[in-house]
Chains A and B, each alone.
Chain A
Amino acid sequence: MADFWKRFKRNRGAVIGLAILLAVVLIAVFAPLLFPQSPWKMVQRPFLPPFAMDRFPLGTDTLGRNVIAGLAYGARVSLLVGLISTLVSLLIGIPIGALAGYFGGRVDDALMRFTEFFQTVPNFALAIVLVAIFEPSVQSIVGAIAIVSWPPVARLVRGEVLSLRSREYVEAAILSGQTSITIIWRQILPNTLSPIIVLASLMVATAILLESSLSFLGLGDPNLMSWGYMIGAARTVIRQAWWLSFFPGLAIVLTVLALNLIGEGLNDALNPRLSRKGK
């Protein structure tokens, strides 16, 4: 663990990313304490420009709602959706990849054709159709993002399992009479953990971008304030009020950038032999 942290720390970008992410997490967790009033509530005149009043440092929107409160509550949605949809994608992708890699042959063929189908289909268009048909809500958004994001997980796990299953310790486990499921779960999967962790950190970033794009198009959960929704609502007034789309966008860029930087740092720390390749 100490070793891990030493290697992670060596990547300066990753440390900066971790700091940004921690700040976003804190804001998200303490949003109700920082801004006790609902972000949907009208608190000032509409179109108050930023830095004009101390209580509303980022101004107000078209309906006089506090922009900075919206950002704080939006952080909750982004992080929550990003995290849960990544977990669901892992739950779909890991078993499919593990079964395909372990059993090979026809099972592998069938599962990989299935995976390929979801990789070929235009992701974003499918996510839009899914959320629109099942009505926008946190559940449908998480489900749609997971359905379009799991194929890379399956491919990664399949590749890892394929290379591990011919190792001697796996053969020993087979000879000792363990069942296939036990071997996959106890012997093989723990050894594929580090590349999965790296991929997952990058997937959270992609999921946040996807969620914000859906909300931008008006497919966000109607009960939750989110960054994408704020930009979408401000789109038509961009000529009068630049700040309404500028600040939420900046929040997305910083959060996604932080996650990507952390992903690179994790890669350096968990796969030290690969990390210097190409540099």
Chain B
Amino acid sequence: MLRFIAMRLVKAAIILIAIVTLNFFLIHAAPGDPAAVMAGEAGAADKIFLEQLRAQFGLEKPLLTQLGLYLVGVLQFDLGFSYRQQMPVADLIFDRLPATVLLTITAFIISLVLGTVAGVLASARVGKWSDTLISTFALLFYATPLYWAALMAVLVFSVQLNWLPGFGYETVGGGYKGFDRVLDIAKHLILPAGTLGLFFMAVYMRMTRASMLEVSTLDFVKTARAKGLKPGIIQRRHIFRNALLPVLTLAGLQAGQLVGGAILTETVFAWPGIGRLMFEALAQRDYNVLLGVFFVSAAMVLLFNLITDILYRVVDPRIRVS
């Protein structure tokens, strides 16, 4: 197991280095001088300042040396400087990271729990109206742009019904402390996490349904039936546990989509995470922030993949042995 984790960590490190290299070449591929790109368009860039930047980043040096310097910088958590916000990019991102982690993890749990439950229900009623209804919902969710669903949720639950706040992380000037503050944040979390989660729920539901149906045709299920076990027990102990494996694989593969979804959700709900930071950086063409958020979100995905890989081995003993 330790060996496995070590191998995965090495692989993750290689991917991260590849992303940093990609970022480096993107800065150089952008139209115009890399120094101007890093300064964030012409607004912040007078001539002397650009000269300073060129010297600071060694832009006269050969490309490979520059790449080396850039890599070393990133390894020291130096993701560059945001000249627009007058702050190191790494500080900006770490300020915003907790909100994104809270949002994505809540959404992930909602989607996984509701998705598998709905999938199991649909598979037990193949061909009946409730199965059709659930499958239709999945098809609709697949076709709905996430940001639009989020806007419609604001329109219904915040503007029309006035049930939930549709904006921000907590009540501005609310002055809540302790448990009241937690409740306040939770209230603000419901709509963003709900929309993000419901969207992925459709994906997990379809997978659970298909995989439940597939496992239920296998020989060991026939054996269990022949032994006279109750259908409920077969459903839970024999079929569900095995059907969960492909869902877990899918959850790992979907991690990138979850981060992408968070960018859109945070934009709509003004949720102060790294997605919202990326949106703000877009309007200002603050490339250092954009590349920094891209790098950190990729790191999050890799970490998430590692966790699902480990979980997979815990759940499925066959892999542990081989």
Contact = CB atoms under 8 A, between A and B. Distances in A.
B260 A123 contact: yes
A61 B189 CA distance: 31
A66 interface: no
A20 to B, nearest CB: 11
A129 B278 CA distance: 9
A260 B257 CA distance: 19
Contacts of A125: 259-260, 263, 278, 293-294, 297-298
A205 to B, nearest CB: 7
A219 B282 CA distance: 8
Interface in A256-279: 256-257, 260-261, 278-279
Interface stretch (A35-43, A102-110, A208-216): A208-216
A235 B15 contact: no
B145 A216 contact: yes
Interface string B258-282: 0111011001100000000011001
A121 B298 contact: yes
A238 to B, nearest CB: 6
A124 B298 CA distance: 11
Nearest to B283: A218
A121 B19 CA distance: 8
B297 A238 contact: no
Nearest to B151: A245
B151 A252 contact: no
Given A123-B257, A260-B143, A129 B151 contact: no
B250 interface: no
B256 A209 contact: no
A239 interface: yes
Contacts of B255: 122
B147 A124 contact: no
B268 to A, nearest CB: 7
A217 B277 CA distance: 12
Interface string B119-136: 000000010000000000
A147 to B, nearest CB: 11
Contact of B294 (A126, A135, A219, A252): A126
A213 B148 CA distance: 9
Interface in B272-313: 278-279, 282-283, 285, 287, 290-291, 293-294, 297-298, 301-302, 305
A5 interface: no
Contacts of A124: 256-257, 259-261, 263-264
Given A125-B293, A128-B278, A246 B152 contact: yes
A36 B32 CA distance: 39
B245 interface: no
B107 interface: no
A49 interface: no
A175 interface: no
Nearest to A239: B159
B145 A209 contact: yes
A125 B295 CA distance: 9
Interface in B132-187: 139-140, 142-148, 151-152, 154-155, 159
Interface string B188-209: 0000000000000000000001
Nearest to A216: B147
Given A122-B260, A129-B294, A257 B143 contact: yes
Interface residues of A, number: 42
A253 interface: yes
B301 A129 contact: no
B302 A120 contact: yes
Nearest to B18: A117
Given A120-B305, A129-B290, A213-B146, A238 B26 contact: no
A133 B151 contact: no
B6 interface: no
A249 interface: yes
Interface in A124-148: 124-126, 128-130, 132-135
B30 interface: yes
Contacts of B267: 217
B91 interface: no
A48 interface: no
B278 A133 contact: no
A169 interface: no
A245 B148 contact: yes
A97 B183 CA distance: 51
Contacts of A121: 15, 19, 256, 298, 301
A122 B152 contact: no
A253 B294 contact: no
A256 B37 CA distance: 36
B29 interface: yes
Nearest to B255: A122
A69 interface: no
A153 to B, nearest CB: 16
Contacts of A252: 143-145, 148
Q: Which 5 A-B pairs have the closest CB atoms?
A: A124-B260, A249-B148, A257-B143, A256-B143, A122-B256
Given A213-B146, A213-B147, A253-B145, 11 more contacts: A119-B256, A120-B305, A121-B301, A122-B294, A124-B260, A128-B278, A129-B291, A238-B151, A245-B152, A252-B143, A257-B142
5 contacts: A123-B260, A126-B294, A129-B290, A132-B282, A260-B139
